[in-house]
Amino acid sequence: MCPEKVKVGVLGATGAVGQRFVQLLQGHPWFELTALCSSERTAGKRYGEACNWLIGGAVPTHLRDVVLQECVPGPECDIMFSALPGDQATTIEKEFAAAGYAVCSNASSHRYDPDIPLLIPEVNPEHMGLIDVQKRNRGWSGFITTNPNCSTTHLVSALHPLHVRFGIQKVFVATMQAISGAGYPGVASMDILDNVVPYIGGEEEKMEQKEPHKLLGKFNGAKIEYANLVVSAHCNRVPVLDGHLEVVSIEFAQKPTQEEIIQAWRDYKPLPQQLELPSAPQPAVIYLDEPNRPQPRLDRMAGTIPGMATTAGRLRPDPLFDYKFVLLGHNTVRGAAGGSLLNAELLLAHGYLGQVAATWAGAFELA
Amino acid sequence: MCPEKVKVGVLGATGAVGQRFVQLLQGHPWFELTALCSSERTAGKRYGEACNWLIGGAVPTHLRDVVLQECVPGPECDIMFSALPGDQATTIEKEFAAAGYAVCSNASSHRYDPDIPLLIPEVNPEHMGLIDVQKRNRGWSGFITTNPNCSTTHLVSALHPLHVRFGIQKVFVATMQAISGAGYPGVASMDILDNVVPYIGGEEEKMEQKEPHKLLGKFNGAKIEYANLVVSAHCNRVPVLDGHLEVVSIEFAQKPTQEEIIQAWRDYKPLPQQLELPSAPQPAVIYLDEPNRPQPRLDRMAGTIPGMATTAGRLRPDPLFDYKFVLLGHNTVRGAAGGSLLNAELLLAHGYLGQVAATWAGAFELA
Amino acid sequence: MCPEKVKVGVLGATGAVGQRFVQLLQGHPWFELTALCSSERTAGKRYGEACNWLIGGAVPTHLRDVVLQECVPGPECDIMFSALPGDQATTIEKEFAAAGYAVCSNASSHRYDPDIPLLIPEVNPEHMGLIDVQKRNRGWSGFITTNPNCSTTHLVSALHPLHVRFGIQKVFVATMQAISGAGYPGVASMDILDNVVPYIGGEEEKMEQKEPHKLLGKFNGAKIEYANLVVSAHCNRVPVLDGHLEVVSIEFAQKPTQEEIIQAWRDYKPLPQQLELPSAPQPAVIYLDEPNRPQPRLDRMAGTIPGMATTAGRLRPDPLFDYKFVLLGHNTVRGAAGGSLLNAELLLAHGYLGQVAATWAGAFELA
Amino acid sequence: MCPEKVKVGVLGATGAVGQRFVQLLQGHPWFELTALCSSERTAGKRYGEACNWLIGGAVPTHLRDVVLQECVPGPECDIMFSALPGDQATTIEKEFAAAGYAVCSNASSHRYDPDIPLLIPEVNPEHMGLIDVQKRNRGWSGFITTNPNCSTTHLVSALHPLHVRFGIQKVFVATMQAISGAGYPGVASMDILDNVVPYIGGEEEKMEQKEPHKLLGKFNGAKIEYANLVVSAHCNRVPVLDGHLEVVSIEFAQKPTQEEIIQAWRDYKPLPQQLELPSAPQPAVIYLDEPNRPQPRLDRMAGTIPGMATTAGRLRPDPLFDYKFVLLGHNTVRGAAGGSLLNAELLLAHGYLGQVAATWAGAFELA
């Protein structure tokens, strides 16, 4: 009755994001983790040895003795999750896509390629249409999808329900980003203890010029027409382990009331929540009434699927824009591995995984 | 040859800001600390006993055995620095002013009274003129002056040289404020370790509606005509001991080039720097070229008088405003006790301390 | 088939430990939370209002509107968990015990009373026998049991399997204790950020003179004969949210080999684990082989019941004693609320809850 | 009248300890910094460019444009301070000593060489005698001296005045060491935020087997006869920027009273304090009476020469040893660069700098 699980692998399995993939795939109802791939330096070692487990607890027992493979097409699986660093991702992901794998990548390398979708399943599931364009263009039997940067993911997740109703024109955002966003070893403790660093290389550019515009853009059958909102971003690193906090001011095409905005968040039930995808939090956006929330330590794991929801609060008028508010999201769960995982669930639900997924065909009532 | 030192006291001497007054007055060339006043609960105790010294090191040896007095007019001194909490400051400061003391207050109680100056010596020294209005209005032989809130102080200090040249119309600011800004015991460690709190009671209102407008306003001989810039503020508490970091976006009446702004900061030599007041840093505003500065831990003590300067950096164009930049300042030095102290130095230099200061008359060449 | 759940309440439900009780009782298989009691100041308010929820996430939805009761006998329940501060616990717990409640207390007030058991179910379950002595002595229909201080709990939990086999004579311990051990607001952030405080009032006395000796003592049918090991403790507060780390050196009556010690920990399966009590972690003590573990952030939630196990590591010879090692345990879970909860489970399994528990009689095969 | 300053250089000038050397040498009354040497990678660059200044503030203005030299004998100076990492120090320091330089090293490479002194000027100035042995043995015109590891330095500094009076036989120490002790980038923030790491590679061995024994040993004219006290050490890394805290238990040959110990610390006036060496704090050991001190943030800069003194507190009886107490010292000032600097001052005062120092000959009245 229940179809067989889809085999999946992880590229870059020993790093901070790779570990989150491994953690989130434990006991997954649809996917079975069958391949752990890593750099040449560690390939051949057992996962338990090669991995400095950062998340808390220990490497899952059944994976301790799994031997790491090199990042070369071959492993018997259908989906490859990529937690590779940008420089390695560029080539390796293409090789896997050419070899027929569905690559669900968290790397930034291909996010802005015109024929590669940058996906948040709640926001722009129709961008999956680019996959056909991509396969045609490149002559690949597989394909690549990407998810956005951790700070953009939660910003756009909170803005999307407002954008579709009221049209967002201007966004001002100042971020306070967790150290785990820089990977491991990442930020030196001497740089961040009793300190804030008001600079994260490349981050402001991603938020101001690239990601929100593609994510909120329209797929016209051939390419994405970028949305034309204007974004200004100040990005800061703070001494917090997990959870990016963002203070946001916004201006609308049609200014709603404060109640209408909160209602838009509370009514929001996009495709992944309708399909009840296994990693889709219910609701997608949580709005808190307390005057001093959300806060990273208290709210980063909020919601039905820990770390997958975006939490908002403190909506109030802004003297320079229409409104301002605070948002928070987990950067290595929804903002990284969890984002790719939900993309894969969406692809499976929509029949984008070919023969492999044929047996799953009847399992979904698509919107 | 050198005139006798002016006797000064501190109201609220045992608290966090009170301790900074005590620290900054050690070895002061013009002032001699002769009275330490505190609440009824601790009055009568020795300072060394009553004081949980928070700054590092220990209570200055020569003050350990000084007996705390109550906050009632009587101590033989001319200037009373006030580190009282708001609720106590309201009445007590008036009593001292009525009794002939020059009260230099860090409390917020009287900051917005129309006849009481809110002073930053670099920014609006001419507001001292209100003192005559105040004494007339109230029939006091003494008077009250105040300094602004810690986050406003550094914001306005950085904006002032730009405002006088290019006219600032809009200011967007998101603050990341140190825990010492909340006093002691202040922020519970369980609220701030591995966390950020996106809310500081009353802080956004002070920045948006009250302080910058009075500070940058014009004294017309009778009252202050508030400046009409528009400010939007997001205030956040971060796990940093000292030093408020602020990310700022600004729009000008006449948009300068990036170079002109940096030049305006580098050329800035306002009155306290011209007079070489003992607590006036040279320069008043430091601009750093490094891409990731200023940072609280590295820059809060920058400059010739540790903790008294404002440091700026990362000036760059803003997609929604003209420019954006980062600024930093020490919140309990310049942003609190040091602000009051520099006010007192300005008052002395300008002859506002009456007979007491008569012997100082020839000591300054006023601008 | 399954007996009805036992009704339980929490005294001091709004504090840090009270919140842990509430959290741990959610979905408990045996207990149903029916009464939340608090101080006069908050009694009458709804729990959601009165409670500054510190644990992360939010007050459980179904408890938000529960009205807080005063700490006065009356609530319809059989077990009262006490998270009261010491000064209030003294009287209130006695009133509840006199009125027939089984009071499972985390407070220190009655820990050293000769007829009140200080229990760790793995270590000294036979001390439950004191309950009969206590009821006789005091003429109470109910009774009080207590659990030890957070740092003692994990120390004795790790030592017990070694003590029963090899006889421990000397214990040297230096603790690095989490801020949550001081409750809320507890430790001021200005006291602990970028700092360690080498002093925790009363803590060293508890470890050196009182708790380990009673816990490892023998119940002779009338009273506890204290164990005569010698303990030296240095207690320190560190900037860690949860998890007390302790470095320990020990000397035995019969010195075992290093392997024998590790084997003793790995073989350890005391009563709660045999009975499979719902909150008993399997195993009770985890030994890690990595050279730099346990660590608070990574290991405080280790084991099958998060926060209930004790983790040890780094066993090695000591130049002054026989061996030294590192141990870690969660201070507000096993070290506080979870300790009381496991005590209550043990009491129920052993028939100490009277008529109420009659229906549970056949549910356990006691050791 | 005042002799010309002695020219000095720094090997490894861009690292964390190198920067402390540079900072401490600013305005030094005897030494003039004339050479900054670094690895091949940065040699040739200007110091201001090559250096990520970690201490706070900025690279001293007059050094910004100094061009870094390679670590090869040649620079015109008499003393070479070495902040080299261990692996590089081994060879490079020997080359400089052979070439006639007085190398004052903070590296561990040569600390345990039998003919190289491991010096704390307060503790074992007579070990300077090894320099003649060393020069004879090795045929060098220069020589090497070393200072101990940061955690040993402060431990032995606090113990020395007690050892000479009462004879210390056993020392138990548990350290809580600051992150700056691991250099830069050193400890990853993800490893230490909200955490403690109960392991520092090689540190316990240094304290247990090597350094205290050599430091407290006797120079018999040919070599050091190691002291035979027994030390047990537990070393831990805590989230503190600077300042190693150590909790210590001790046993004496002749057990003194508590008052005698405190008196021994208060009376302590060893050679550097008698000679009034410029970097010698007065007193060398500070004893605090407060029940919760010393603390790293409050006391690491205590004393007349910030960061150079050792602070002790909380002396009390120990159930297993004679007494226990708490000590604190700055790890990168006295525990590293400042230790080497004071060694150099001692060498100059004692005529160990040859012709160069001839002009200084009359400047000291030696003990």
Same domain, residue pair A105 and A210: no
Same domain, residue pair B122 and B91: yes
Confidence grade of residue B58 (pLDDT, cut at 50, 70, 90): confident
How far apart are alpha carbons B182 and C190 in whole angstroms?
10
- Residue B259: CB atoms within 10 A of its CB come to 9
Mean pLDDT of C338-350: 97
Find residue C244's DSSP bridge partners: C329
Chain B residues with CB within 8 Å of chain C CB: 16, 54, 179-180, 184-194, 239-241
DSSP string, C52-115: ---SSS-S-GGGTTPBPEESSS-SS-SEEEE---HHHHHHHHHHHHHTT-EEEE--STTTT-TT
For residue C1, being part of any structural domain is answered with: no
Write down the pLDDT at residue A354: 66
DSSP-derived 3-state class of residue D326? strand
Task: Per residue of chain D (367 residues), give pLDDT as tens.
Answer: 457 899 999 999 999 899 999 999 999 999 999 999 998 889 999 999 998 888 877 888 899 999 999 999 999 999 999 999 988 999 999 999 999 999 999 999 999 999 999 999 999 999 999 999 999 999 999 999 999 999 999 999 999 999 999 999 999 999 999 999 999 999 999 999 999 999 999 999 999 999 999 999 999 999 999 999 999 999 999 999 999 999 999 999 999 999 999 999 999 999 999 999 999 999 999 999 999 999 999 999 999 999 999 999 999 999 999 999 999 999 999 999 999 999 999 999 998 886 555 555 555 544 3
Same domain, residue pair D70 and D32: yes
Write down the pLDDT at residue B33: 97
Same domain, residue pair D235 and D345: no
The minimum CA-CA distance between C80 and chain B, rounded to whole Å, is 27
Query: What's the half-sphere exposure (Cβ side, CA atoms, 13 Å) at B196?
Result: 35
Number of domains in chain C: 2
**Tokens read off for A338:** 């969890």
Examine residue D294 and say whether the peptide bond preceding it is cis (omega within 30 degrees of 0).
yes
- Number of A/C CB contacts below 8 angstroms equals 29
How far apart are alpha carbons B190 and B340 in whole angstroms?
32
Same domain, residue pair C127 and C194: no
Write down the pLDDT at residue D250: 98
For residue A1, being part of any structural domain is answered with: no
The catalytic residue among C150, C160, C235, C350 is C150
**Tokens read off for A265:** 């968040």
Find residue A69's DSSP bridge partners: A37
pLDDT tops 60 at residue B343: yes
Mean pLDDT of C236-251: 98
Q: What is the largest CA-CA distance in chain D?
A: 59
Closest to C190 (Cβ–Cβ): which among B186, B190, B193? B186
CA A281: distance to chain centroid?
A: 13
How far apart are alpha carbons C60 and B240 in whole angstroms?
32
Mean pLDDT in chain C?
A: 94
- Among B297, B305, B328, B333, the strongest candidate for a mutation testing the D interface, having the largest count of D CBs within 10 A, is B297
For residue B200, being part of any structural domain is answered with: yes
For residue B326, being part of any structural domain is answered with: yes
pLDDT in tens, C303-324: 999 999 999 999 999 999 999 9
How far apart are alpha carbons B121 and B273 in whole angstroms?
9
Single-letter code of the amino acid located at B101 = Y
Q: Which residues of C touch B241 (CB under 8 A)?
A: 190, 193-194
Higher pLDDT, A157 or A365: A157
- Residue C58: CB atoms within 10 A of its CB come to 17
Burial A333-345 (b: 16+ CB within 10 A, else e): bbbbbbbbbbbbb
- Number of B/C CB contacts below 8 angstroms equals 60
Could you tell me if A163 and A220 are in contact, meaning their C-beta atoms sit under 8 angstroms apart?
A: no
**Tokens read off for B341:** 């102290």
Shortest CA distance to A229 belongs to which of A284, A164, A176, A285? A164
Write down the pLDDT at residue D366: 42
Mean pLDDT in chain A?
A: 94
- Among D190, D192, D193, D332, the strongest candidate for a mutation testing the A interface, having the largest count of A CBs within 10 A, is D190
Burial B122-148 (b: 16+ CB within 10 A, else e): bbbbebbebbebbeeebebebbbbbbb
Confidence grade of residue A367 (pLDDT, cut at 50, 70, 90): very low
Closest to B301 (Cβ–Cβ): which among D53, D56, D193? D56
pLDDT in tens, B285-338: 999 999 999 999 999 999 999 999 999 999 999 999 999 999 999 999 999 999
- Residue C139: CB atoms within 10 A of its CB come to 7
Note whether A238 contacts B197, CB cutoff 8 Å. Answer: no
Mean pLDDT of A329-347: 97
Query: What's the half-sphere exposure (Cβ side, CA atoms, 13 Å) at B250?
Result: 29
pLDDT in tens, C93-132: 999 999 999 999 999 999 999 999 999 999 999 999 999 9
Confidence grade of residue B55 (pLDDT, cut at 50, 70, 90): confident
Mean pLDDT of B14-18: 92
Same domain, residue pair C172 and C319: yes
Which residue is associated with the tokens 């200061």?
B357
CATH number at residue D133: 3.40.50.720
The catalytic residue among B37, B51, B150, B235 is B150
Active site residue A28: no
Same domain, residue pair C102 and C157: no
Shortest CA distance to B165 belongs to which of B29, B264, B249? B264
DSSP-derived 3-state class of residue A225? strand
Find residue C218's DSSP bridge partners: C225
Same domain, residue pair D159 and D115: no
Write down the pLDDT at residue D127: 98
Task: From residue A281, give the alpha-carbon distance in Å to each of A268, A304, A310, B355, D266.
Answer: 12, 5, 9, 72, 64
The catalytic residue among D110, D150, D160, D330 is D150
For residue B1, being part of any structural domain is answered with: no
- D310-317 vs D323-329, strand pairing mode: antiparallel
Mean pLDDT in chain D?
A: 94
Same domain, residue pair B191 and B278: yes
CATH number at residue C308: 3.30.360.10
Shortest CA distance to B50 belongs to which of B8, B15, B9? B15
Q: Which distant-in-sequence residues (6+ apart) come within 8 Å of B60 by Cβ? A: B22, B23, B26
Q: Which of B236-240, B352-356, C68-72, D297-301 has the lowest mean pLDDT?
A: B352-356
pLDDT in tens, A269-287: 999 999 999 999 999 999 9
Write down the pLDDT at residue C55: 83
The catalytic residue among C110, C160, C163, C244 is C244
Mean pLDDT of A190-213: 97
Write down the pLDDT at residue B6: 95
- Residue A259: CB atoms within 10 A of its CB come to 9
**Which helix or strand (DSSP H or E) is residue D224 part of?**
strand D224-225
Active site residue C154: no
CA-angle at C55, arms to C54 and C56, nearest 5°:
100
Helices C150-166 and C258-267 pack at an angle, to 10 degrees, of: 110
For residue D25, being part of any structural domain is answered with: yes
Could you tell me if D116 and D137 are in contact, meaning their C-beta atoms sit under 8 angstroms apart?
A: no
Same domain, residue pair A189 and A117: no
How far apart are alpha carbons D233 and D248 in whole angstroms?
9
Residue of chain B with shortest Cα separation from A313: B198
Same domain, residue pair B35 and B136: yes
DSSP string, C191-211: HHTT--B---TTHHHIIIIIH
Backbone dihedral angles phi then psi of residue C148, each to the nearest 5 degrees? -75, 170
* Structural domain of D192: 150-330
Single-letter code of the amino acid located at A198 = P
pLDDT in tens, D108-146: 999 999 999 999 999 999 999 999 999 999 999 999 999
Q: Which residues of D touch C327 (CB under 8 A)?
A: none
Find residue C273's DSSP bridge partners: none
Could you tell me if B325 and B248 are in contact, meaning their C-beta atoms sit under 8 angstroms apart?
A: yes
Backbone dihedral angles phi then psi of residue A66, each to the nearest 5 degrees? -65, 135
**Tokens read off for C189:** 């952030």
E strands in B167-290: 168-177, 218-219, 224-225, 230-237, 244-252, 285-288
A183 sits in the region (left: phi over 0; alpha: psi -120 to 50; else beta) called left
Query: What's the half-sphere exposure (Cβ side, CA atoms, 13 Å) at B50?
Result: 25
- D224-225 vs D218-219, strand pairing mode: antiparallel
The catalytic residue among B110, B163, B213, B244 is B244
pLDDT tops 80 at residue A162: yes
| 0.90 exceeded by pTM | yes
Note whether C53 contacts A298, CB cutoff 8 Å. Answer: yes
Q: Which residues of A touch B158 (CB under 8 A)?
A: none
Residue of chain D with shortest Cα separation from A189: D189
Confidence grade of residue A364 (pLDDT, cut at 50, 70, 90): low
Task: From residue C174, give the alpha-carbon distance in Å to each of B148, C187, C326, C361, D210.
Answer: 46, 20, 10, 43, 23
Q: Which residues of A touch B321 (CB under 8 A)?
A: 232
For residue D1, being part of any structural domain is answered with: no
Same domain, residue pair D271 and D307: yes
Single-letter code of the amino acid located at D312 = A
pLDDT tops 60 at residue A316: yes
Task: From residue C63, give the alpha-carbon distance in Å to each of B308, C14, C25, C35, C68.
Answer: 50, 12, 12, 10, 10
Write down the pLDDT at residue A57: 74
Q: Which distant-in-sequence residues (6+ apart) come within 8 Å of A219 by Cβ? A: A124, A126, A127, A129, A130, A225
Shortest CA distance to B155 belongs to which of B229, B69, B46, B225? B229
Find residue D6's DSSP bridge partners: D31
Write down the pLDDT at residue C367: 34
pLDDT in tens, C142-177: 999 999 999 999 999 999 999 999 999 999 999 999
Secondary structure letter of residue D253 according to DSSP: S
For residue D299, being part of any structural domain is answered with: yes
Q: Which distant-in-sequence residues (6+ apart) come within 8 Å of A249 by Cβ? A: A171, A172, A173, A318, A320, A321, A323, A324, B172, B232, B234
Q: Which residues of D touch C247 (CB under 8 A)?
A: 174, 198, 234, 236
CA-angle at B330, arms to B324 and B334, nearest 5°:
105
Write down the pLDDT at residue A2: 57
The percent of residues above 90 in pLDDT, for chain C, comes to 89
